[in-house]
């Protein structure tokens, strides 16, 4: 074969089989580049949708009071003293007739029970909602009047509360100090079915309050900080577990100094929230 014929044959072979002539390297690189780019693209993507779904589908831990309804009753109201015609009106609490509401007491320098209970109640609301509870208050400000003691009980009943607590501070003789829990008695009335559960609630609050605040048991009323009564409309008319707490004596200088302290009021709120959680399980 002549040299010219050999050259033509060589070129023809190269055209048919580029890999034999070095053209394959160029073609292979061109074909592989998109694959490498795709590989990089896949590697750069965020977590797969299935992983995201798995994460999103993981339930968050249940809050300890999820599904529970709690009613907080801040005693009295800041505007009560301006409307004696309203608060002095008598209402039927089943065992007797009593005033619709009262003005409450105050410390010797004028810090009112109504302002104190409103502050503590709102601190409790934040804590309890953070624990997952549905929380209702019996009044929406500290500048209004009432509601009557009968209406306060009705708010808890209509809410089908799992627990209700009425916040107070006492106006006892200055020589006495400490706190106590007021619990209902059976009166052949609507409260009778929840007297037992109300006592359990009261015991849980007593222990939590004592350990959380260091406030001593009352030195002037009740036994071991427990007082059972049948003359309070807020208890007599309740169909849900309910107690009152007298958090301290506003007329006692030692107690008053604590109750006026915002940091101590926060301790009160934390303690009562813990007691409610313990009762509600």
Regarding predicted confidence, which is higher, 19 or 236? 236
pTM for the full predicted model: 0.79
Cα distance between residue 140 and residue 124, in whole Å: 14
Which residues are catalytically annotated? 246
**Residue 143 confidence (pLDDT) above 80:** yes
What pLDDT shows up at residue 37? Answer: 44
Using CA of residue 225, residue 156, residue 124, residue 82, what is the dihedral sign? negative
Using CA of residue 269, residue 274, residue 279, residue 281, what is the dihedral sign? positive
What pLDDT shows up at residue 196? Answer: 98
106 CB-near residues (< 8 Å, 6+ apart): 112, 113, 171, 250
pLDDT tens, residue by residue, 150-202: 999 999 999 999 999 999 999 999 999 999 999 999 999 999 999 999 999 99
pLDDT tens, residue by residue, 45-97: 444 444 444 455 666 778 999 999 999 999 999 999 999 999 999 999 999 99
**Residue 32 confidence (pLDDT) above 70:** no
């Amino acid at each position: 074969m002549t040299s010219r014929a050999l050259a033509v044959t060589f070129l023809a072979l190269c055209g048919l089989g580029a890999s034999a002539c070095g053209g394959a390297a160029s073609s292979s690189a061109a074909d592989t580049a998109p694959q490498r780019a795709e590989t990089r693209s896949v590697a750069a993507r965020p977590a797969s949708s299935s992983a995201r779904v798995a994460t999103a589908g993981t339930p968050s831990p249940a809050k300890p009071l999820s599904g529970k309804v709690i009613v907080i009753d801040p005693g009295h109201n800041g505007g009560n003293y301006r409307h004696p015609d309203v608060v002095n009106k008598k209402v039927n609490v089943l065992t007797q007739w009593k005033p619709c509401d009262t003005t409450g007491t105050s410390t010797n320098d004028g810090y009112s029970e109504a302002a104190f209970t409103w502050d503590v109640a709102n601190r409790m609301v934040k804590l309890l909602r953070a624990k997952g509870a549905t929380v209702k208050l019996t009044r929406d400000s500290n500048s209004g009047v009432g509601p009557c003691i009968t209406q306060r009980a009705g708010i808890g009943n209509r809410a089908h509360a799992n627990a209700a607590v009425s916040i107070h501070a006492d106006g006892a003789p200055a020589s006495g100090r400490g706190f106590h829990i007021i619990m209902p008695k059976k009166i052949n009335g609507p409260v009778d079915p929840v007297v037992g559960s109300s006592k359990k609630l009261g015991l849980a609050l007593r222990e939590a309050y004592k350990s959380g605040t260091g406030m001593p048991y009352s030195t002037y009323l009740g036994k071991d900080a427990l007082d059972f009564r049948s003359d309070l409309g807020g208890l007599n008319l309740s169909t849900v577990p309910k107690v009152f707490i007298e958090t301290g004596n506003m007329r006692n200088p030692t107690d008053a100094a604590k109750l006026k302290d915002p940091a101590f009021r926060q301790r009160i709120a934390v303690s009562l929230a813990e007691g409610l959680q313990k009762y509600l399980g």
